[in-house]
Chains A and B, each alone.
Chain A
Amino acid sequence: DVKVTQSSRYLVKRTGEKVFLECVQDMDHENMFWYRQDPGLGLRLIYFSYDVKMKEKGDIPEGYSVSREKKERFSLILESASTNQTSMYLCASSPGYGDEQYFGPGTRLTVT
Chain B
Amino acid sequence: SQQGEEDPQALSIQEGENATMNCSYKTSINNLQWYRQNSGRGLVHLILIRSNEREKHSGRLRVTLDTSKKSSSLLITASRAADTASYFCATDGAGTASKLTFGTGTRLQVTL
A interface residue numbers (CB < 8 A to B): 4, 31, 35, 40-45, 48, 50, 56, 58-59, 88, 90, 92, 94, 96-98, 100-106, 108
Contact = CB atoms under 8 A, between A and B. Distances in A.
B42 A48 contact: no
B102 A100 contact: no
B98 A97 contact: yes
Interface string B59-86: 0000000000000000000000000000
Nearest to B105: A42
Contacts, number: 59
A48 B99 contact: yes
Contacts of A45: 99-101
| Interface of chain A: mostly helix, strand, loop or mixed | strand
B102 A43 contact: yes
A10 to B, nearest CB: 10
Contacts of A41: 104
Contact of A100 (B42, B48, B97): B48
A108 B102 CA distance: 19
Given A42-B2, A94-B98, A98-B92, 9 more contacts: A41-B104, A48-B98, A48-B99, A56-B97, A92-B43, A100-B48, A101-B33, A103-B43, A106-B40
- Among B41, B42, B43, find the residue whose CB has the most chain A CB atoms closer than 10 A: B42
Interface string B1-28: 1100000000000000000000000000
